[in-house]
C-alpha cells in the first residue's frame, strides 16, 4: 500500500526572524546591495552544495542542513534555526535558488559590479526570504466544486513543478530518443519535418553536435555533484577553454555557448513574471558566462536545453500556420514515444499493446483512440496529449484560466475532439457497436479503464486527475453500458509512465491504474503519492534508455576528441560562497 503523502512547510524568513512577512520590494532592496554576478554564481554553487538535480533531489538532506544552517544564518538566529532542522523541516530547497536567481536576473537598475563579497549569513536570509515569496494564498469558498478543483490545480501546479519528482537527466534522454529513435520510426506521412535541417537552418550548426554539447555539460554537472563532500564549496565554473581541448572549432564553441548562456550585459530580464514561480528567462538561460567561465545556475533547466532549442526556439522562428503544424508533428512524436515505452518494456503476456487501433470495415478509418492495452478482459484506453500549458496560465494562480485550459485541452474543444471527448466516443462505440465491428481482440472486454497521458507535469499534479474525472463522470451515461464496467478516469504525465516501467515489466498496466484509484478514491493526490508501484525519482529497470545513453556518451567522446581524465576544478572548503574575486 502506498504511504500517505507527507506534507511539511518550509522555514520562512519572517518566522525565523520574528518579523512581518517579507515583501518583494524588501527582498529586491537587499539584492541591490550586492553584485549581480555574486548572487548568480552563488546560486550555481548552491545547486551543487545542496545536490539539487540528480535523482530528482530538490530538498537539502538532513546532513547538509545540519552543516550549512550554522554557517548560513545570522549568529543570533542559529539556535532557533537548528531547532527547526531537528524537527526535519525543509530549510533549503530548489525553489529558493530559482527564485533568487530569477529575481537577480530581473533586477533593474543593476547593482555595481565591484567585486565585493556577500556575507554568508546574508545568503541564509536571502534563501529563506525567497522561500517566503514562493507562496500564494489559496482562494476559499468558491461556490462551484469544479472551480474549487481548478483553483487547487492552479495553486499547486507551480509548486509541483518546482519540487519536481523527475530526474532531470531523463528529460534530456527522452528528447534525444525522440530525435534518434522515435522520429525515424514514424510512418512517412507523419514525418513532415526534417528536424535536424530546421535546427541547423536556425542555429547554424548540426543538431547532433548540439546534442553532444548539452550532454557534455550535463556530464560535467553530474560529476561535480558526485565528487563534492558536505562542507565543500565548489568553484562551479566550467572554463570555456576546456572545450578548446576538443576538436570543436572556436566558432562552434562560441555559437553553442550563446544558446545556453546569458552574460551580465544581457540582463535584466525585462519581461514581467506571470506569477511567483515564473522562471522562463532562467529556463532559457540556465548558464551564466563570466569571462572564460560558465556557471550552471540550474541543473534541470540546463539539461532541458536540447528540447528548448530543437522544439521551442525553432518553432518560434516559424510563421503561425507552419508553427501549428510543427507542434502537431511533435504531438505525433510524443504519442509514438508512449507506444514505444509499452512496446519495449511491458510484459507482452500481461499487456497486449495495440497502437492506433481501428474499427473493422470503418469507411472513415478513424482510430478508436491513440492506443489500447489489453490486460486480460480489461481494456485500458489511452489518449496521449502534449497539450502544453502556457506560462501565462501555469503560473497565474488563476483558477478561471486553468479551468479554461483543462477544458479546451482535455475535455472538449469546438475545433476538434480532445481527450475526454475522444475516450467517451470510444467507450460509446465499444459499448453499443455490434461485436463484429470491433477488432477481435477487443470483443471480450468486460472492463474499461480510460487514461490520459500528458507530456506536461500537469497530468500527475495535485487535483488534476480529480478535475478531469469529474468532467468525465458528468458526461458518461453509465446506464447505457450495462455489460461494461467503467472505472474512473486516470490521468498521469509521461514521467509517471516512465517510472511505471519497472511495474509493467512484471504486472498488468491495468493493475497499476486500479491501484492508483484504490489508494486515492478522490484522485486528488499526485500520481506517485497514490501509487504502490510508481515511486518518485529515477525510473528503475530502463535498460533500453541506459543502452542509448551509453551510445550517446561514446559518440560524444569520439566527436569531441575527449579523454576520460577528469579536469574539474577541485572544491575549496574555505572559500566564501559569494567570493567573485
Look at residue 141 and tell me whether its pLDDT is greater than 90. Answer: no
Band of the pLDDT at 577, cuts 50, 70, 90? very low
Higher-confidence residue: 21 or 9? 21
DSSP letter, residue 59: B
Q: What radius of gyration do the chain's Cα atoms show?
A: 25
Band of the pLDDT at 111, cuts 50, 70, 90? confident
Q: How many domains is the chain partitioned into structurally?
A: 3
Domain final residue pick, 493, 513, 530: 530
Q: Does residue 542 lie in a domain region?
A: no
Rounded to the nearest angstrom, the gap between the alpha carbon of residue 7 and the centroid of all alpha carbons in its chain is 20
Look at residue 578 and tell me whether its pLDDT is greater than 80. Answer: no
Residues 367 and 445 in one domain: yes
Query: Other CB atoms closer than 10 Å to residue 354's CB: what's the count?
Result: 18
CATH number at residue 488: 3.40.91
Residues 232, 101: Cα–Cα separation, whole Å: 21
465, 490 Cβ separation under 8 angstroms = yes
536, 499 Cβ separation under 8 angstroms = yes
Look at residue 571 and tell me whether its pLDDT is greater than 80. Answer: no
pLDDT at 252: 85
Residues 353 and 236 in one domain: no
Residues 301, 315: Cα–Cα separation, whole Å: 19
State the virtual CA torsion across 89, 93, 97, 102 in degrees, nearest 10: -100
Which of 315-319, 481-485, 498-502 has the lowest average pLDDT? 481-485
Residues 63, 237: Cα–Cα separation, whole Å: 25
Q: Does residue 38 lie in a domain region?
A: yes
Q: Does residue 200 lie in a domain region?
A: yes
Residues 435, 444: Cα–Cα separation, whole Å: 9
What is the arithmetic mean of pLDDT over 423-448?
Answer: 96
Residues 259, 257: Cα–Cα separation, whole Å: 5
pLDDT at 306: 94
DSSP letter, residue 374: E
pLDDT tens digits, 115-125: 898 999 999 99
Look at residue 572 and tell me whether its pLDDT is greater than 60. Answer: no
Look at residue 335 and tell me whether its pLDDT is greater than 70. Answer: yes
Residues 183 and 128 in one domain: no
What is the arithmetic mean of pLDDT over 83-98?
Answer: 96
- What are the two backbone dihedrals, phi and then psi, of residue 578, each rounded to the nearest 5 degrees? -100, 15
Question: Among 319, 313, 353, which Cα is nearest to 336's?
Answer: 353
Residues 126 and 176 in one domain: no
Residues 108 and 204 in one domain: no
Residues 313, 192: Cα–Cα separation, whole Å: 18
What is the arithmetic mean of pLDDT over 241-254?
Answer: 82
Query: Other CB atoms closer than 10 Å to residue 226's CB: what's the count?
Result: 8
Band of the pLDDT at 563, cuts 50, 70, 90? low
Residues 466 and 404 in one domain: yes
Can you read off the three cell numbers belonging to residue 122?
546574508
Share of the chain above pLDDT 90, in %: 78
Higher-confidence residue: 115 or 96? 96
Residues 377 and 521 in one domain: yes
62, 87 Cβ separation under 8 angstroms = no
Q: Does residue 217 lie in a domain region?
A: yes
The model scores a pTM over 0.85: yes
Can you read off the three cell numbers belonging to residue 551?
551510445
Look at residue 569 and tell me whether its pLDDT is greater than 50. Answer: no
Residues 254 and 380 in one domain: no
Look at residue 581 and tell me whether its pLDDT is greater than 80. Answer: no
Look at residue 536 and tell me whether its pLDDT is greater than 90. Answer: no
Q: Does residue 76 lie in a domain region?
A: yes
Q: Does residue 186 lie in a domain region?
A: yes
DSSP letter, residue 577: T
Band of the pLDDT at 570, cuts 50, 70, 90? very low
Domain final residue pick, 288, 317, 346: 317
pLDDT tens digits, 184-205: 999 999 999 999 999 999 999 9
pLDDT tens digits, 290-318: 988 999 999 999 999 999 999 999 999 99
Domain final residue pick, 261, 284, 317: 317
Q: What is the mean pLDDT of the chain?
A: 92
Can you read off the three cell numbers belonging to residue 565?
581524465
Look at residue 244 and tell me whether its pLDDT is greater than 80. Answer: no
Residues 373 and 420 in one domain: yes
Residues 574, 232: Cα–Cα separation, whole Å: 8
Look at residue 433 and tell me whether its pLDDT is greater than 80. Answer: yes
Residues 459, 452: Cα–Cα separation, whole Å: 8
pLDDT tens digits, 36-84: 999 999 999 999 999 999 888 999 999 999 999 999 999 999 999 999 9
Packing angle between helix 145-162 and helix 464-475, nearest 10 degrees?
A: 150
Band of the pLDDT at 558, cuts 50, 70, 90? confident
pLDDT tens digits, 385-398: 998 999 999 999 99
216, 560 Cβ separation under 8 angstroms = yes
Could you please report the per-residue DSSP string of 492-552?
EEHHHHHHTHHHHTTS-HHHHHHHHHHH-TT--S-GGGG-SS--SBS-S--HHHHHHHHHH
Residues 564, 82: Cα–Cα separation, whole Å: 42
Distant-in-sequence contacts of 244-248, Cβ < 8 A, 24+ apart: 246/560, 246/561, 246/562, 247/559, 247/560, 247/561, 248/209, 248/560
Which residue, chain included where needed, has cell 514521467? Answer: 495
User: ∠ at Cα 292 (286, 297), nearest 5°?
Assistant: 20
Residues 103 and 196 in one domain: no
Residues 105, 262: Cα–Cα separation, whole Å: 10
**Close Cβ partners of 16 (under 8 Å, ≥ 6 residues apart):** 73, 77, 80, 81, 84, 128
- Pairing between β-strand 490-493 and β-strand 447-454 as defined by DSSP bridges: parallel
What is the arithmetic mean of pLDDT over 154-179?
Answer: 92
Q: Does residue 146 lie in a domain region?
A: no
Q: Does residue 359 lie in a domain region?
A: yes
pLDDT at 140: 67
246, 563 Cβ separation under 8 angstroms = no
Instruction: List the end-to-end C-alpha distance of the chain, in Å, as a whole number.
Output: 54
Which helix (H) or strand (E) element contains residue 375?
A: strand 371-375
pLDDT tens digits, 540-557: 999 999 999 999 988 888
Residues 487 and 389 in one domain: yes
Residues 338, 559: Cα–Cα separation, whole Å: 30
Residues 295 and 340 in one domain: no
Look at residue 226 and tell me whether its pLDDT is greater than 80. Answer: yes
Alpha helices in 107-233 (DSSP H): 120-133, 145-162, 168-177, 183-185, 195-203, 207-227
Output the furthest CA–CA distance in the chain (Å, rounded). Answer: 79
User: ∠ at Cα 112 (110, 113), nearest 5°?
Assistant: 110
Residues 512, 492: Cα–Cα separation, whole Å: 12
3-state helix/strand/coil string of 443-458: CCCCEEEEEEEECCHH
Using DSSP, state whether 23 is helix, strand or coil.
coil
For residue 354, give Cα distances in angstroms to 191, 377, 379, 389, 504: 21, 14, 10, 29, 15
Band of the pLDDT at 319, cuts 50, 70, 90? very high
- Residue numbers of the domain that contains 47: 13-133
Strand order in the sheet with 237-239: 237-239, 293-296, 287-290, 261-262
What is the arithmetic mean of pLDDT over 466-470?
Answer: 98
Amino acid at each position: 500500500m502506498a504511504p500517505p503523502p507527507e506534507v511539511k512547510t518550509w522555514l520562512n524568513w519572517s518566522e525565523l526572524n520574528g518579523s512581518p512577512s517579507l515583501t518583494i520590494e524588501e527582498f529586491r532592496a537587499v539584492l541591490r546591495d550586492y553584485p549581480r554576478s555574486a548572487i548568480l554564481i552563488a546560486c550555481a554553487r548552491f545547486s551543487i552544495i545542496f545536490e539539487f538535480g540528480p535523482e530528482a533531489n530538490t530538498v537539502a538532506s538532513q546532513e547538509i542542513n545540519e552543516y550549512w544552517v550554522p554557517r548560513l544564518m545570522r549568529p543570533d538566529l542559529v539556535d532557533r534555526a537548528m531547532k527547526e532542522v531537528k524537527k526535519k523541516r525543509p530549510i533549503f530547497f530548489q525553489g529558493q535558488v530559482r527564485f533568487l536567481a530569477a529575481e537577480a536576473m530581473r533586477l533593474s537598475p543593476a547593482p555595481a559590479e565591484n567585486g565585493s563579497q556577500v556575507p554568508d549569513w546574508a545568503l541564509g536570509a536571502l534563501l529563506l526570504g525567497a522561500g517566503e515569496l514562493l507562496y500564494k494564498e489559496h482562494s476559499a469558498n468558491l461556490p462551484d466544486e469544479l472551480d474549487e478543483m481548478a483553483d487547487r490545480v492552479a495553486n499547486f501546479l507551480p509548486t509541483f513543478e518546482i519540487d519536481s519528482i523527475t530526474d532531470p537527466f531523463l528529460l534530456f534522454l527522452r528528447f534525444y530518443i525522440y530525435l534518434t529513435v522515435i522520429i525515424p520510426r514514424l510512418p512517412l506521412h507523419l514525418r513532415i519535418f526534417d528536424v535536424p535541417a530546421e535546427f541547423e537552418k536556425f542555429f547554424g550548426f548540426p543538431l547532433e553536435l548540439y546534442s553532444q554539447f548539452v550532454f557534455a555539460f550535463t556530464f560535467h554537472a553530474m560529476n561535480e555533484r558526485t565528487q563534492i563532500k558536505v562542507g565543500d564549496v565548489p568553484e562551479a565554473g566550467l572554463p570555456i577553454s576546456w572545450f578548446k581541448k576538443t576538436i570543436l572549432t572556436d566558432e562552434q564553441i562560441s555559437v553553442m555557448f550563446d544558446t545556453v548562456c546569458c552574460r551580465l550585459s544581457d540582463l535584466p530580464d525585462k519581461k514581467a513574471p506571470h506569477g511567483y514561480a515564473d522562471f522562463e528567462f532562467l529556463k532559457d538561460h540556465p548558464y551564466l558566462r563570466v569571462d572564460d567561465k560558465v556557471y550552471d545556475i540550474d541543473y534541470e533547466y540546463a539539461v532541458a536545453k536540447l528540447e528548448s532549442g530543437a522544439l521551442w526556439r525553432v518553432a518560434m522562428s516559424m510563421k503561425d500556420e507552419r508553427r501549428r503544424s510543427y507542434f502537431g508533428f511533435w504531438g505525433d512524436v510524443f504519442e509514438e514515444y508512449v507506444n514505444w515505452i509499452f512496446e519495449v518494456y511491458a510484459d507482452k503476456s500481461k499487456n497486449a499493446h495495440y497502437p492506433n487501433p481501428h474499427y473493422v470495415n470503418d469507411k472513415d478509418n478513424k482510430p478508436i483512440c491513440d492506443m489500447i492495452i489489453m490486460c486480460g478482459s480489461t481494456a485500458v484506453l489511452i489518449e496521449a496529449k502534449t497539450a502544453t500549458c502556457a506560462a501565462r496560465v501555469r503560473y497565474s494562480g488563476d483558477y478561471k484560466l486553468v479551468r479554461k485550459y483543462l477544458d479546451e485541452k482535455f475535455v472538449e474543444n469546438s475545433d476538434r475532439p480532445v481527450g475526454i471527448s475522444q475516450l467517451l466516443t470510444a467507450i460509446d462505440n465499444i459499448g453499443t457497436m455490434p461485436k463484429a465491428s470491433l477488432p477481435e481482440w477487443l470483443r471480450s472486454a468486460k472492463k474499461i479503464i480510460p487514461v490520459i497521458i500528458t507530456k506536461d507535469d500537469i497530468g500527475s499534479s495535485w487535483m488534476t486527475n480529480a478535475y478531469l474525472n469529474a468532467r468525465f463522470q458528468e458526461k458518461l451515461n453509465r446506464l447505457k453500458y450495462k455489460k461494461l464496467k467503467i472505472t474512473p478516469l486516470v490521468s498521469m504525465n509521461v514521467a509517471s509512465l516512465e517510472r511505471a516501467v519497472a511495474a509493467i515489466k512484471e504486472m498488468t498496466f491495468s493493475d497499476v491504474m486500479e491501484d492508483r484509484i484504490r489508494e486515492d478514491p478522490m484522485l486528488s493526490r499526485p500520481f506517485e503519492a497514490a501509487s504502490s508501484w510508481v515511486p518518485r525519482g529515477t525510473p528503475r529497470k530502463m535498460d533500453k534508455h541506459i543502452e542509448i545513453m551509453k551510445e550517446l556518451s561514446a559518440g560524444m567522446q569520439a566527436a569531441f576528441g575527449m579523454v576520460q581524465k577528469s579536469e574539474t576544478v577541485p572544491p575549496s572548503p574555505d572559500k566564501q560562497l559569494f567570493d567573485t574575486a
